[in-house]
């Protein structure tokens, strides 16, 4: 309803010279969606979808059906917009509370997340070490910091970590992206690891800043501190996380660089190109070369 090719053209033209884009109301936020390269702030004057929900509750069919559909459709869009931007702003605490209830996957300050199958020893060892040795140091500096362990089959040792202040264990979840969206920082405190850690790539693909150990990041192929932060030892890991929690802009910029790295390095067309060459060589009867694809 509020679409405008003329306004979109103006936004597109201004984007290359823009440091920060600030949109007021979801209908204006739509014009920022094509520009993930920008730092973007979304000011929700109010959750328009909630008004349609109230209309539906106070009217009878068939109008109530129309209002209810509008509520669902608009809430999906508001959720997409809230997740796309760097920060969401509200006029009152009440509106912020309604937003968090309606869109619980929005990023939460101080929220640290680890994802992985939680009966796999390296994951168990890393999370135990982080929860017992590193998180207390972080909470001493950032009292609201909390750590969520997301993954299926948590062992009794992992479940026991919930007794520690600021630690939560989810068990199996339908979609880890819902939890990554809620995170301020993704941590990969593995002390034992080989190969590429998908948990690191998945967080980077979500535009999250990652703090990982050398074993957790060495197979990814990026650089610290350009694409993620590498920190070994409890003190170093705690310091790296604290710095990001205290400097949200630095964290957002690191997340943007992480996303760009994944797009450029791990796009399927890029990753599979050496394999295409290898298969073509084998099919043509030529001596195959070895590839890391």
User: What is the pairing mode between strands 185-188 and 210-212?
Assistant: parallel
266-277 mean pLDDT: 86
Residue 205 near residue 132 (C-beta atoms within 8 A): no
> How high does pLDDT run on average in the chain?
90
pTM reported for the whole predicted model: 0.67
Going 240 to 244 to 246 to 249, the CA torsion angle's sign is positive
pLDDT of residue 8: 96
pLDDT of residue 31: 96
Token pair recorded at residue 154 = 């948590």
Residue 126 near residue 189 (C-beta atoms within 8 A): yes
28-42, 159-173, 234-248: which has the minimum mean pLDDT? 28-42
Residue 179 near residue 113 (C-beta atoms within 8 A): yes
52-56 mean pLDDT: 91
Can you list the domains of the chain with their CATH numbers?
Answer: 5-102 (no CATH), 111-266 (3.40.50.2000)
Give residue-wise pLDDT tens across range 219-246. 898 888 999 999 999 999 999 999 999 9
Most confident option among 56-65, 92-101, 172-181: 56-65
Proportion of the chain above pLDDT 70, given as a percent: 96
pLDDT of residue 287: 61
Length of the chain: 293
Is the pLDDT score of 15 beyond 70?
Answer: yes
pLDDT of residue 51: 86
């Amino acid at each position: 309803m509020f679409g405008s090719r003329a306004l979109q053209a103006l936004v597109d033209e201004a984007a290359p010279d823009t440091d920060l884009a600030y949109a007021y109301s979801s209908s204006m936020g739509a014009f920022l969606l094509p520009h993930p390269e920008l730092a973007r702030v979304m000011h929700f004057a109010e959750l328009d979808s909630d008004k349609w929900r109230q209309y539906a509750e106070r009217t009878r069919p068939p109008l109530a059906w129309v209002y209810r559909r509008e509520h669902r459709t608009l809430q999906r869009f508001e959720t997409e917009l809230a997740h796309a931007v760097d920060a969401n702003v509200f006029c009152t605490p009440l509106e912020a509370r309604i937003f968090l209830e309606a869109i619980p996957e929005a990023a939460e300050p101080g929220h640290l997340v680890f994802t992985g199958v939680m009966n796999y020893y390296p994951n168990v060892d890393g999370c135990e070490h982080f929860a017992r040795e590193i998180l207390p140091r972080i909470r001493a500096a950032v009292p609201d910091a909390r750590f969520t362990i997301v993954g299926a089959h948590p062992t009794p040792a992992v479940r026991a970590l919930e007794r520690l202040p600021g630690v939560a264990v989810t068990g199996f979840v339908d979609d880890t992206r819902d939890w990554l969206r809620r995170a301020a920082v993704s941590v990969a405190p593995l002390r034992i690891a080989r190969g590429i850690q998908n948990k690191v790539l998945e967080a980077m693909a979500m535009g999250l800043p990652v703090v990982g150990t050398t074993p957790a990041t060495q197979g990814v192929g990026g650089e610290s501190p350009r694409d993620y932060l590498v920190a070994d030892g409890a003190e170093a890991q705690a310091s790296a996380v604290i710095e990001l929690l205290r400097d949200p802009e630095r964290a957002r910029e690191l997340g943007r660089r992480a996303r760009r790295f994944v797009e450029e390095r791990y796009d399927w067309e890029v990753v599979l190109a050496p394999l295409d060459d290898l298969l073509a060589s084998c099919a043509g009867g030529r001596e195959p070369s070895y590839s890391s694809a």
